Structure 1
Amino acid sequence: MKNILIPTDFSKNADHAISYALNVFKCERTNFFFVHAYADEVYGPYHNVDKETFDKQKNSIAKDSENKLNKLITDTQTKTHNPLHTYEAVSSFESLVDAINDFADSKNIDLIIMGTKGKTANSKITFGSNTVQVFKYVKCPVLAVPDQYDYNQPKKILFPSNYMLPYKRRELKLLDNMAAEFKAEIHSLYISDFEDLSLRQLDNKKFLEESLPNARLSFVRTGVENRAKAITSYINENKMDLLVMVNSRHSFLEDMLYRSTIDEIGLSPTIPFLVMQNLPR
């Protein structure tokens, strides 16, 4: 049984991510946890008020959060009627990242699914600030769904890799299960001018093959150019349905996440983006 955490700010973007998640796991027994973290809603507007006023507003926002989460579950159950799915509401007086990390650990969460943007979506950016923070600091795989993306089964998955990382079995198992469910192709894209691999790269490439037995796995190389452009071009030319990347120290993805804005590097996927964490958990 899968445990899937979905953060929500009750926006259309969050609802769109929920819809995608319900479709992806339509045929699997799945526990969905809808999480709303509301600490910023309390501390933001009410940081200069007296304690009595602060507590009153905090209690009001907490109650509103619980009511909206319960309504969300009721509406979801009414729309889907899927006996394989269970739902739980989690209202948390924490920051989004802290709430997700704590809950992911306590419930052994397999995957977090969220929108690429939240309630204050800016059409000029690809990823909202909350999504970037979750990518950077949450030690669990994160799947971000663009708000304009219409659901397609993820039958063609792009996995760029330089084969320098010792992959983690748990995250690769998640990817392999998804590939098995949808009979998916996984295209492992190596961006390099050189065909020869080091012994480390060969070992990691072999481990990747062994860990994805249910995928139709192919290995592709393209010459070095702007890496974001190479990934985007491959997505568009090959009509990919899902982009998968690994966040680790000194990786291309880490470089992207730690710039002042994620869009500076030019990676703007129009398909769902799965970030796997090669970090301690």
Structure 2
Amino acid sequence: MSKILVPTDFSNNSYNALYYAARLFQNRECIFHLVNVCSGDNSPDKQKAKIESAQDLDAMVHRLVRDVGENTKHTFKKVSLCSDMTEGVAQYAKDHHVDLTVIGNKGKEDIKHILFGNNAMQIVREISNCPVLIVPLEIDFKKVDKIAFTSNYINPIAKENSKTLQFFCDLSDSVIVPMSIEEDKADAASEKNKADFLKEIGQKCSKEVELPVFDGKVNTILEFVDLWSIDMLCMVYYPHHFFLEFIGKGIIKELNTKLNVPFLILPHNPS
């Protein structure tokens, strides 16, 4: 049974992340851990906040059942936490050995909770035991036919991450589309890492797409996602190297406004 953590601030975007996950995993037995960080640990209104949070979590589940129907394969654990947002979610993911964390890319504007920005990156950095799936602003669910995997293969791709990609392929009978950006010179270690990865994913893989940088790396990725009709983009998070070329230095704001498919982020050292 898959254990899926969905942090929520009860915004439409966090609900949409849950809705997307429920549709994506509709044929799998899952327990959804719905976690709301309702107040700080030292808040004087902590008990009141927890009561209101529990009520809103109940309403969220009722809304989901109304929208997608009753699914006997799915169960829900509703949790109200009093803690720091990022630390609370990350610690919960670790303590409960969740298999996937799903977040929306926007939260309530007046509450700085789950954002595809600094807080999302903090969660990605803190949650090292499982993948994080970021669902764009209120997208409609559609079957995932193509999952693009993008890397420069500076580091080997962990076998556990290859298995995760294969698992996501099995969810929707998808194909992995490896994509790389042409570098100035070939590196023997990177070529070996790529070959090992392509061998690992085997029959789930289509022919690799290698593109030159024509308008910056981010726009190259975005153009690729659009032209190849990609349904989900996947990368491995590294504290340095390739990933931060896309996520760091303000580029995340560009992805936030332009990327219109779910973004699956795999941990560097999966547990």
Give the TM-score normalised by structure 2: 0.87
- Opposite residue 234 of structure 2, the aligned amino acid is V
Q: Of the candidates 237, 253, 278, which is equivalent to residue 243 of structure 2?
A: 253
User: Relative to 1, partners in 2 of residues 1:210 and 1:90: Cα closer, same or farther, differing over 3 Å?
Assistant: farther
Q: Give the corresponding residue for 1:31.
A: 31
**Is contact 2:135-2:262 (8 Å) kept?**
yes
C-alpha displacement of 1:214:
4.9
Q: Distance in 1 between matches of 2:238 and 2:117?
A: 21
Q: Give the corresponding residue for 2:121.
A: 132
Give the TM-score normalised by structure 1: 0.84
Q: Give the corresponding residue for 2:74.
A: 85
- Opposite residue 201 of structure 2, the aligned amino acid is L
User: Relative to 1, partners in 2 of residues 1:33 and 1:169: Cα closer, same or farther, differing over 3 Å?
Assistant: same
Q: Give the corresponding residue for 1:69.
A: 57
**Is contact 2:217-2:246 (8 Å) kept?**
no
C-alpha displacement of 1:191:
0.4
Q: Distance in 1 between matches of 2:256 and 2:11?
A: 26
C-alpha displacement of 1:256:
4.1
User: Relative to 1, partners in 2 of residues 1:266 and 1:144: Cα closer, same or farther, differing over 3 Å?
Assistant: closer
Gapped runs of 5+ residues in structure 1?
A: 44-53
Q: Give the corresponding residue for 1:49.
A: none
Matched, 1:114 2:103: yes
Q: Percent identity?
A: 26
Q: Give the corresponding residue for 1:99.
A: 88
- 3-state SS of paired residue (1:37): strand
- Opposite residue 223 of structure 1, the aligned amino acid is P
C-alpha displacement of 1:115:
0.5
Q: Distance in 2 between matches of 1:119 and 1:239?
A: 30
**Is contact 1:38-1:95 (8 Å) kept?**
no
- 3-state SS of paired residue (2:207): strand
Q: Distance in 1 between matches of 2:265 and 2:38?
A: 24
- 3-state SS of paired residue (1:212): helix
Q: Distance in 2 between matches of 1:128 and 1:280?
A: 23
Q: Give the corresponding residue for 2:180.
A: 190
**Number of equivalenced pairs:** 265
- 3-state SS of paired residue (1:119): coil
Q: How does 1:170-209 map to 2 (within 5 A)?
A: 170-193=160-183, 197-209=186-198
The CA RMSD over aligned residues, in Å, is 2.5
Matched, 1:217 2:196: no
Write the deviation string for residues 44-96 of structure 1: whole angstroms up to 9, x where unpaired. Answer: xxxxxxxxxx52x1221121112211232343345421111111011111122
Q: Distance in 2 between matches of 1:5 and 1:266?
A: 22
- Opposite residue 192 of structure 1, the aligned amino acid is E
**Is contact 1:177-1:214 (8 Å) kept?**
no
**Is contact 1:35-1:90 (8 Å) kept?**
yes
- 3-state SS of paired residue (1:188): strand
User: Relative to 1, partners in 2 of residues 1:31 and 1:235: Cα closer, same or farther, differing over 3 Å?
Assistant: same
Say which one has the larger Rg: 1
Q: Distance in 1 between matches of 2:13 and 2:135?
A: 8
User: Relative to 1, partners in 2 of residues 1:259 and 1:150: Cα closer, same or farther, differing over 3 Å?
Assistant: same
